[in-house]
Chains A and B, each alone.
Chain A
Amino acid sequence: MWSSCWTYSLNLSSVPGDGDGQSRWCLSQVKGAVDDDVAEADIISAVEFNHSGELLATGDRGGRIVIFQQEQESKNLPQCRAEYNVYSTFQSHEPEFDYLKSLEIEEKINKIRWLPQKNAAHFLLSTNDKTIKLWKISERDKRPEGYNLKEEDGRYRHPSSLTTLRVPVFQPMDLMVEASPRRVYANAHTYHINSISVNSDNETYLSADDLRINLWHLDFTDRSFNIVDIKPANMEELTEVITASEFHPLQCNTFVYGSSKGSVRLCDMRASALCDQHSKLFEEPEDPSTRSFFSEIISSISDVKFSHSGRYMMTRDYLTLKIWDLHMESRPVETYQVHGYLRSKLCSLYENDCIFDKFECCWRGDDSEVMTGSYNNFFRMFNRDAQRDSTLEASWENGSPGCPLKTWRVCTGSRRKRNEIGVDCLDFSRKILYTSWHPQDNIVALATVNNLYIFQEKPN
């Protein structure tokens, strides 16, 4: 049973897949250039559905954000409901130079988080290493026409031709989507921002860097409150950094942050202004039998996500996905091996720096399944209810849209069947770090290096 073991090693050669090696998922769309020459700026660094699932935002290393909108006409058709088209593109962040430290500040978008919708426009927060911005995306479908003293094309009229006053009139025009920056929250982080999270109160959000977490009010850019500070008095004593942070989806006073040592702390803002003292500490004791030189590195939490219900929390470290019950700090209730076959390859993964890759994870809308990415453009889905998992590939070569994906198996042996691949054949340059699950439907979006893949589950 998955839930009762704290370390469960998935025996890949005999694991049941989704029946017949076929999953219920099919490729819907691929966005982005499909040639091999990938510009650095085009590499996708963030993927996020909004709260209704109608909009899908991606950020890239060039500081741009592209928002896709679910095709309005087909979203109610079960077969092609996962059709997304470009809605808006804008430059969110520009590269900057920190003159004091002689350091360049990358424009790469680290995280995008949508605000719950508050009127007809849409709002999102996007952040690079140092600055968070609030963007308003609004539609305009009319424009005013009629000047008194000039023609519509700008030529001026003589004032003497003015016989009567003219008030402009709004005329319909083609739909235009505008993105405008409404707030810029700057200068609050010394270290690189790794997370932002909007509070359930719709008024505040947190931003976390390596050593500090700040609380902001959306309306105010000139002040933020520091709520967690783990910087030691002597930097040489630094052993642990903050890697991810998130607000509880329902309780406006609760948030968690994960660390590079594999622990997650839950803090209650009601307890004190500075939440250095955690309320709960989620940490699984290490299995001495698997201890190695790399143990601490692979235990680093790369992502932490609350379930939609608020009862559970999921953490991703290099090799596993763990699901924790917030009431139990001593160990997770479920542990899933993402790519346990890599355990013997840690040395080479350390040498090519892949061991430091930060994978995200996400919950299905009803919390019954979870998903995360892996190498070779594989992504892993774990069905908690049915205790089944599958490995799928994001590739536009091997499947046509609408065709159900085949599941894969990674083997250590030498025998190869169809849809099996050896560990040594995995392409570690093709990795899926960023994933997002539609909040209500079974549509997932994930990024390979520079492509956005959208998959939908076949309706029953």
Chain B
Amino acid sequence: MAGAEGDDSLYPIAVLIDELRNEDVQLRLNSIKKLSTIALALGVERTRTELLPFLTDTIYDEDEVLLALAEQLGTFTVLVGGPEFVHCLLPPLESLATVEETVVRDKAVESLRKISQEHSPVDLEVHFVPLVKRLASGDWFTSRTSACGLFSVCYPRVSSTVKAEIRQHFRTLCSDDTPMVRRAAASKLGEFAKVLELDYVKSDIIPLFTALASDEQEDLEALVMPTLRQAAEDKSWRVRYMVADKFSELQKAVGPEITKNDLVPAFQNLLKDCEAEVRAAAANKVKVFCENLPEDSRETIIMTHILPCVKELVSDTNQHVKSALASVIMGLSTILGKDNTVEHLLPLFLVQLKDEVTHLELSPVSHLSVSLSLVVKDLSDCTTAETQLFIFQCPEVRLNIISNLDCVNEVIGIRQLSQSLLPAIVELAEDAKWRGVEFFDEKLNSLCMAWLIDHVFAIREAATCNLMKLVEKFGAEWAQNTIVPKVLGMANDSNYLHRMTTLFCINALSEVCGQEITTKHMLPVVLKMSTDQVANVRFNVARSLQKIGPFLPWLD
């Protein structure tokens, strides 16, 4: 007989093929499990042109058979002729991905993910992505659920136009009508976020996340939380950074219960992250995070969980972290109250102050004001002079304090002010790390001028004295350009007290400004005020003249 040997080898395969249609499900299952044997015997071309079309239509079968089929197809790349032809496996897997049995769909998706790696980028765009799009826009929620698992595997290697389409499909599925689809999308959120470019993560994923986290269907929250946890522990620091950066939004989305149970540990981890950027981003959120904790447990949570992490951060080596923290520590004082602040926050604050910080601009100043006044008040109440001294040795703090002196004024005693702080300004002037007069002009000029017209005499007096010292430091020319015009300008003020301040300033400044300035600029003003309608002013003119006399040339 022709091909007798061939017949023998064909026979078992023929049996297998016939049994694909056997009524006994076990025999069918057996044949499906040996599909690779059949494919080998048929060869790559017949496998592609005959076997696969047959398998595509055989979806009217028992779950076990379909499951086995879905699994087999995931390993069939070689049997269809290699990566060049791997896309031939897509049609049968596509129909398996729409079957009502979840296990079969999941296996089909798993196989699709496997073979996606074997597709060339061109094949991805020509064959794979259209499949994903068909599933994503399918009528039945089964196909849309399956689509969710396929976005992340094809995204990285396609063109940016196609990427945009994929992102759009994902967005649509996150807000699908059917809860099961939203659930599937939510569970793939983290995975998809990993392959997205960071900008898109921020613009797309975070809004999707917050929407899903507050979805009506409760178990969506439960699904999304693992994603958040995973993202917070992600290997890529960029993902963790993003989580830290958006933490307060996330907190709002998930609500107080989940915050207590899940977000607090996640936040702690972010504060201890190995990447400085992540720690800094988290540190920036400490105040907001703490503010949004549920009221009943806020203090406990902060004291037990957050504060220990913050304490560690204070001795962080990274500048960004420390400066982020500076703003936050004092922010907590309003939440924790005076006692906790003094006992716990203040030491941290002092540690910070001891620190050598090189970049002045890194310390945000404004938010310090309110809490700072509280701190400084307590400082003056309870800490020793030494502490105060070394506090003011820190240029950073001095600058901050000084820049917030308006608040500080209200809380600390005049004595303190004149004894410690104003000299601190002088100290600043000496500070090598200062950027010089421009800096002073910008930040402190208006302040000093404000002190001059403070309603408390002692302050005006102290300010005047201060001004004098500044002129000593910065020089007469600087004084002439900046201070003197302002001081002299006050001579026209409607409030007589301000006019008198001018005189006191002149008294103080004449010595340091020198003869020329005194004669040319100050004297005329003094003389003009001699005809002031307020007697007290005229009286002080006389005194001024006595004072400045020695510095005027014609009185030699």
- Cα A169 to Cα B55 with chains together (Å): 10
Return A162 CB to nearest CB of chain B, in Å: 5
In this complex, the member of A165, A200, A201 whose beta carbon has the largest number of chain B beta carbons within 10 angstroms is A165
Cβ B140 vs Cβ A118 within 8 A: yes
Q: Which residue of B lies closest to A121 (CB)?
A: B100
Mask, B63-92, CB within 8 Å of A = 1, is: 000000000000000000000000000000
**A170 contact set on B, CB distance < 8 A:** 53-54, 57
- For A121, list chain B residues within 8 Å (CB): 100
Do A160 and B7 have beta carbons less than 8 Å apart?
yes
Closest to B219 in A: A201
**B140 near A167: Cβ-Cβ < 8 Å:** no
User: A167 contacts B14, CB within 8 Å?
Assistant: no
How many Å lie between the Cα of A10 and that of B380 in the bound state?
86
Please give the distance in Å from A169's CB to the nearest CB on chain B.
Answer: 7
Q: For residue A165, which residues in chain B have a CB less than 8 angstroms away from its CB?
A: 10, 13-14, 17, 41-42, 46
Contact indicator per residue, chain B 121-140, by CB within 8 Å of chain A (1) or not (0): 00000000000000000001
Identify which of A163, A166, A182, A252 contacts B7 (C-beta below 8 A): A163
Enumerate chain B residues within 8 angstroms of A120, measured Cβ to Cβ: 98, 140
Task: Please determine whether B100 and A160 come into contact, CB atoms closer than 8 angstroms.
Answer: no
Contact partners of A117 in chain B: CB under 8 A: 140
Q: Which residue of A lies closest to B41 (CB)?
A: A165
A-contacting residues, B1-35, CB 8 Å: 1-4, 6-7, 10-11, 13-15, 17-18, 20-21
Chain B residue total in the interface (Cβ 8 A): 39
B179 contacts which chain A residues (CB < 8 A)?
200-202, 252
Say if the beta carbon of A147 comes within 8 Å of chain B: yes
CB pair A168–B21 under 8 Å, yes or no, is yes
Chain A residues near B141: list those with CB within 8 A.
118, 202
Please report the C-alpha to C-alpha distance between residue A160 and residue B14 in the assembled complex, in whole angstroms.
12
Q: A119 near B14 (CB under 8 angstroms)?
A: no
User: In chain A, what residue has the closest Cβ to B6?
Assistant: A163
Asked whether, in the complex, the Cβ of B20 is within 8 Å of the Cβ of A168, the reply is yes
Q: Which of A119, A136, A169, A202 contacts B50 (CB 8 A)?
A: A169
How many residues belonging to A are interface residues under a CB distance threshold of 8 Å?
A: 37
A366 to chain B, nearest CB (A): 19
Q: Is B178 an interface residue (CB 8 A)?
A: yes
In the bound complex, what is the Cα–Cα distance between A277 and B248 (angstroms)?
37
Shortest CB–CB separation between residue A62 and chain B, in angstroms? 28
CA A253 to CA B219, docked complex, whole Å: 11
Instruction: List chain B residues, Cβ under 8 A from A150.
Output: 18
In the complex, residue of chain A having the shortest beta-carbon distance to the beta carbon of B179: A201
Q: How far is the CA of A121 from the CA of B139 in the complex (A)?
A: 12
Question: Is the Cβ of A167 less than 8 Å from the Cβ of B142?
Answer: no
- Tell me the bound Cα distance from A148 to B21 in angstroms: 11
Whether B60 pairs with A149 at a CB distance below 8 angstroms is: no
- Taking a contact as CB atoms under 8 Å apart, the answer to whether A149 and B13 are in contact is no
B218 at the interface (CB under 8 A from A): yes
Write the A141-157 contact mask toward B (1 if CB under 8 angstroms, else 0). Answer: 01010011110000000
CB neighbours (8 Å) of A148 from chain B are 14-15, 17-18
Chain A residue with Cβ nearest B98:
A119
> Is B17 a contact partner of A203 (Cβ separation < 8 A)?
no
Hey, what's the 0/1 contact readout for B159-180 against A, CB within 8 Å counting as 1? 0000000000000000000111
Q: Give chain B residues whose Cβ lies under 8 Å from the Cβ of A420.
A: none
B17, B42, B217: the one within 8 Å of A252 (CB): B217
Contact B178 A202 (CB under 8 A): yes
Q: How far is the CB of A70 from chain B (nearest CB, A)?
A: 18
Q: If the complex has contacts A117-B140, A144-B54, A162-B11, are A167 and B178 also in contact, measured as CB distance less than 8 A?
A: no
**Is the beta-carbon distance between A149 and B15 smaller than 8 angstroms?**
yes
Which residues does chain B contribute within 8 Å of A136, judged by CB atoms? 100
> Looking at the complex, which one of B14, B41, B50, B178 makes contact with A162 (CB distance below 8 Å)?
B14
**CB closest residue in chain B, given A250:** B216
Q: What residues of A have a CB within 8 angstroms of the CB of B1 in the complex?
A: 160
Are A119 and B18 CB-contacts (below 8 A) given A162-B11, A170-B57, A201-B180?
no
Cβ of A164 under 8 Å from chain B: yes
Complex contact A144–B58 (CB within 8 A)? yes
For residue B58, which residues in chain A have a CB less than 8 angstroms away from its CB? Answer: 144
Interface flag for A270 (CB, 8 Å): yes
Question: Which of chain A's residues 213-240 have a Cβ closer than 8 Å to chain B?
Answer: 219
Q: Does A159 contact B (CB under 8 A)?
A: yes
Any A CB within 8 A of the CB of B230: no
Distance, CA A170 to CA B59, complexed state (A): 12
The reply to whether the CB of B102 lies closer than 8 angstroms to some CB of chain A is yes
Chain A hits for B98, CB < 8 A: 119-120
A138 at the interface (CB under 8 A from B): yes
**Shortest Cβ gap from A389 to chain B (Å):** 35
In the complex, whether A123 has a CB less than 8 A from a CB of chain B is: yes
Find chain B residues with CB under 8 A from A203 CB: 180
List the B residue with the shortest CB-CB distance to A142.
Answer: B57
CB neighbors of A among B139-155 (8 A)? 140-143
Shortest distance between the CB of B359 and any CB in chain A (Å): 52
Minimum CB–CB distance for B35 against chain A, Å: 12
CA of A165 to CA of B60, assembled, Å: 24
Q: A142: which B residues are within 8 A, CB to CB?
A: 57
A149 to B16 CA separation, bound complex (whole angstroms): 10
Of the A-B pairs whose beta carbons lie under 8 Å apart in the complex, a sample of 15, sorted by A's number, is A118-B142, A120-B140, A144-B21, A148-B14, A149-B15, A159-B11, A162-B11, A163-B6, A165-B14, A165-B41, A166-B17, A167-B50, A168-B17, A170-B53, A270-B218
Q: Given A117-B140, A119-B100, A165-B13, output 8 extra A-B contacts at Cβ < 8 Å.
A: A120-B98, A144-B21, A159-B7, A163-B10, A165-B10, A165-B46, A167-B17, A251-B216
The 10 closest A-B pairs by CB, nearest first: A148-B14, A167-B50, A119-B140, A170-B57, A118-B142, A119-B142, A147-B18, A119-B98, A159-B11, A148-B18
